[in-house]
Structure 1
Amino acid sequence: MSKLEIVNVPDPLLKTMSDPVGQVDDDLRRLMDDMLETMYDAPGIGLAAIQVAVPKRVIVVDTEGDEEDRQPLFLVNPEITWESPEFNVYNEGCLSVPEHYAEVERPASVKVKYLDYDGKEQHQLMEGLMATCVQHEIDHLNGVVFIDYLSKLKRNMIIKKVQKATKGVTVL
């Protein structure tokens, strides 16, 4: 496994619509393993392939936090099939928008269809932080970053701060 470079805003790659994956093979599993290592090292709780410059519909998540409690989830071609009418607000952050957070409102629960690490189709009800994290990462696959939910003024201010803070810095 190896750590990958994380793409930061305003890189236009983050606005790219990711391509569906045809099949889960050893190359894709290697990518997912590398993404997981990158996410844990950052540290974060979710990472989309587009954030490491791979425009494929792949995300990894683990909302447990503690190393001994890790429960990584690998989602290939994730698709939300149901959203609850109730909403939650979380103070979200993003590995592609380092050091910046904002409250975002999303459905409290979602049902997600995806292929797992072994290529088997799964259907899962996700609630709370896991639901928020998966929606955040699926947004990335559709070219949406959480700051897109903010006002244009606040979004532009955050982008300028990220550019200034990361000027000449390579994030690995």
Structure 2
Amino acid sequence: MPARPLVLFPDPRLSHLAAPVEAFGPDLSALVTDVWDTLLDVSAIGLTAPHIGVPARVVVIRMSPEAERRVYVNPVVLWASPETATHEEGSVSMPGVRERITRPAHIRFGYSDLEGAEHEQTAEGFEAAAIQHEIDQLDGVFWIDRLSRLKRERLLKRFGKTKSD
């Protein structure tokens, strides 16, 4: 399937809670293909169904251009370390700006695969940050919501300048 148009900031859909996936089958597989094709088209590391306008708890991640795609349906963080790490983050829904975000350095998360089987996995470092970033999106928490008010205001000014250039 072709890549779908992205939902762009400040679209309010980026702040909505995504609905749990309840039906596993061809429709879900088609949605994952659309998210994947869009991820490849925009050269993203991770993308959610809400990024393409579908309010479903689906995440597709590819940590590097050579990596296999990973699909997480209904992902949830089960445990997060007290230790934190800071990584530069951004969003294809808000192109042209990035900022450093501090998150737990290690996580354990649960998810279902395309057949509905449940799994648990651990992640650390940038991978943990990427997974938390995408789960936040499913929870209606846009990445800039993790910034202090001052940093968010400065970033929004920079973003405004990129749009007017």
TM-score by length of 2: 0.91
Equivalence for 1:92: 89
Cα 1:36–1:163 shift into 2, 3 Å:
farther
Counterpart check, 1:28 vs 2:33? no
Secondary structure in 2 matching 1:24: coil
Moved over 6 A (4+): none
Task: Name the amino acid aligned to 2:25.
Answer: D
C-alpha deviation, 1:154, in angstroms: 3.7
Distance 2:157 2:107 in 1: 33
C-alpha deviation, 1:161, in angstroms: 5.0
Cα 1:34–1:150 shift into 2, 3 Å:
same
How many residue pairs end up in the alignment? 164
Q: Which stretch shifts more, 156-165 or 81-90?
A: 156-165
Cα 1:24–1:163 shift into 2, 3 Å:
farther
Secondary structure in 2 matching 1:21: coil
Task: Name the amino acid aligned to 2:87.
Answer: Y
Equivalence for 2:2: 2
Secondary structure in 1 matching 2:21: coil
From 70, 73, 76, the equivalent of 1:76 is: 73
Cα 1:53–1:166 shift into 2, 3 Å:
farther
Equivalence for 2:17: 17
Equivalence for 2:146: 149
Secondary structure in 1 matching 2:17: coil
Cα 1:15–1:106 shift into 2, 3 Å:
same
In the TM superposition, what are the counterparts of 1:1-172 in structure 2 within 5 Å? 1-63=1-63, 65-66=64-65, 69-159=66-156, 161-162=158-159, 165=162
Q: Which runs of 5+ in 1 are unaligned?
A: 168-172
C-alpha deviation, 1:162, in angstroms: 4.2
C-alpha deviation, 1:151, in angstroms: 3.1
Task: Name the amino acid aligned to 2:17.
Answer: M
Secondary structure in 2 matching 1:18: coil
Q: Percent identity?
A: 38
TM-score by length of 1: 0.88
Conservation of the 8 A alpha-carbon contact between 1:9 and 1:162: no
Aligned residues: CA RMSD = 1.7
